[in-house]
Structure 1
Amino acid sequence: MPRQQLDELAAEMTEFQAAQREQTRRARRGAERRRAAGAGPPIKLADADRELFPT
């Protein structure tokens, strides 16, 4: 797969994955977030890297 095509696919998946992750977290919490986004520890992997290397 060419690098450009992989980057485009990762960009598409990143948006969907972020929305899905937030929806799952909201369901687990039972309410909206109480702290501002980004208030926790720093993210170790970028979104695109998390898609390729899930933890």
Structure 2
Amino acid sequence: MTESDNRYEVSAVTDGREVERYKQEIACLKQLVVQLSEIVLRNVVKQRPNRKSEHP
């Protein structure tokens, strides 16, 4: 195995680890979007009765 082969192998392993890390980060971001959506929905539902009383 040549030195360039070794570099390619190390690069492929590093790329694979980066891809896995990115996948984990994406999964985490998706979960945050879900949580934020739930918070927004709760706030919209809470404020709805107030709007009806403000505009008879």
**In which range does the TM-score fall when normalised by the shorter chain?**
0.3 to 0.5
Greater relative CO (CA pairs within 8 A, separation 6+): 1
Say which structure is richer in helix. Answer: 2
Larger radius of gyration, structure 1 or 2?
2
TM-score by length of structure 1 reads: 0.47
TM-score by length of structure 2 reads: 0.47
